[in-house]
Amino acid sequence: MVKDIIDTFIIMNDYESAQYWLTHLYSSGFKRFDDGEKEFISGVIYYELGSLLTAKEFFDIANRKSEGRLFEGKDTKYIKLLKR
DSSP 17-56: HHHHHHHHHHTS---SS--SHHHHHHHHHHHHTT-HHHHH
pLDDT tens readout for residues 11-70: 999 999 999 999 888 887 666 567 899 999 999 999 999 999 999 999 999 999 999 999
Please tell me the predicted confidence (pLDDT) of residue 30: 62
How far apart CA 51 and CA 74 sit, in angstroms, is 19
Please report, in angstroms and rounded to a whole number, the separation of the first and last CA atoms in the chain: 34
What is the pLDDT averaged over residues 2-11?
A: 94
Whole-model pTM over 0.85: yes
Higher-confidence residue: 2 or 77?
A: 77
